[in-house]
Amino acid sequence: MLDRGATTYVSASRIASHGALLRLGPEPLSVAWVNPSRRTWVVGLGVCGEGGGEVRQDVELPAGPWFGGWAFDASRAWPGFDAERWVLPEVLAFWDGARTHLVAYGREGTPRAVLEARLDRVTEVEPVVERGRVTRQADDRQAYEGLVARGLEYLRSGGCSKLVLARALAVKGDAPLSERAVLKALEARNPTCWTFLVRGRDGSAFIGASPELLCEADGGNLTVDALAGTAALGDDAALERSEKDRREHQAVVDDVRARLDAFATRIEAPPRPVIKRLSTLVHLHTPVSARLRGGVSALAAARALHPTPAVAGAPRERALAFLAQHEAFSRGWYAGAVGAMGPARATFAVGLRSAHVKGATARLFVGAGVVEGSTPEGEWLETERKASTMLAALGVGHG
């Protein structure tokens, strides 16, 4: 829970003499928040504050300065990761398209000399020239298809109209996986996605490239992505004709509108979805816009929206109960929310196309929306397509 208490933070900034953001160190990155299509490139080092507070700074950041998010299910968080956490890094670095800026933060009363000394400690780390061998561990396809079959039975019994069923894939390297190399690959291959890193208390990292905006607020204006319905790149026409995918997508749009009703005075959405193209997939996409009521924060709206039918199912409560009983692993922050909050703007993405990375191992998470007309084989193939984003970024099959 973000607590905007009495703590106040101050800052000092300078133009960096260093190069690319992903080379800044020497310690591991504590946060990363990147979207080239939105001209946003931000990374953080260390942790200055947790929870919240006021920040007085002499430079405007393109996002933040509070970074974090929350788990899909607060009762089933990963060890080493809080159910919800927001941090203010000790040092934030961002690129404005021409120069790299460094900003050091400290609590109110921190001498400027201390902040400047913190900036002096920022150095460059050597880029990863060669990655070791990374292999994908064996999957239990039969178990996932069995889960989908149980989900379809539940739908036919009237329990839900939609379920989103996920699976986890294991990856192992012969050396510690390079988080910076993964981030670089994700950014390069997914320039319209929100590439992110959130560091856990145990040193592990949640990394991904989300195609889905949970919501974004600029003042009182709120934008929400309704994203559901998936096909392989190039199958645009088939996706638009698919009755199954249109029903799955409409369930998300309807839920977003219903959940925003208590928070907004105006809600608008186009009558038909459009195609959103990614590096390997296409999705049905409907942008929903709203005007927040006075006194309603973007964080409150985001919490009300999450989890949408795009990552859980509908009705929400029945879908969540089914997932808690039948999914044989903890989603942790997968399909949760990740984002950045500043004084006037806030952006939250859904934690998709992602992996939990710790040392030489990673667990990838992918899911598929199950509605009437779905098949166990079809949903397995959809999750395989979705897994390709992170598998490629992790270097599976290379080295």
Give Cβ neighbours of residue 141 (< 8 Å, ≥ 6 apart). 380
- Name the residue among 317, 293, 288, 320 with its Cα closest to residue 214: 288
Which one is catalytic: 84, 212, 327, 382? 212
**What is the distance between the terminal CA atoms of the chain, rounded to a whole angstrom?**
42
Does the annotation mark 244 as catalytic? no
CB distance 228 to 252 below 8 Å: yes
Q: Are 232 and 384 spatial neighbours (Cβ–Cβ below 8 Å)? A: no
Cβ atoms 332, 128 nearer than 8 A:
no
Residue 358 falls in the annotated catalytic set: no
Here the contacts of 73-80 (C-beta below 8 Å, separation 24 or greater) are 73/320, 73/323, 73/324, 73/330, 73/331, 76/324, 76/330, 76/331, 76/332, 77/330, 77/332, 77/333, 78/200, 78/204, 78/330, 78/332, 78/333, 78/356, 79/202, 80/200, 80/201, 80/202, 80/203, 80/204
CB atoms inside a 10 Å sphere around CB 311: 27
Which residues pair with residue 70 across a beta bridge?
Answer: 84, 337
Contacts of 94 (CB under 8 A, 6+ apart): 21, 41, 42, 43, 61, 62, 63, 100, 101, 103
Q: What CA–CA distance (Å, rounded) separates 247 from 258?
A: 16
Exposure string of 367-380, with b = 16+ CB inside 10 Å and e = fewer, is bbbbbeebebeebb
Give, in order, the Cα–Cα distances in Å from 78 to each of 82, 88, 198, 256. 7, 21, 13, 27
Chain centre to alpha carbon of residue 92? 19
Pick from 83, 67, 30, 2: nearest CA to 330: 83
Catalytic, out of 84, 162, 184, 382: 162
Q: What is the DSSP letter of 133?
A: -
State the Cα–Cα distance between residues 35 and 149, nearest whole angstrom: 37
Catalytic residues: 162, 212
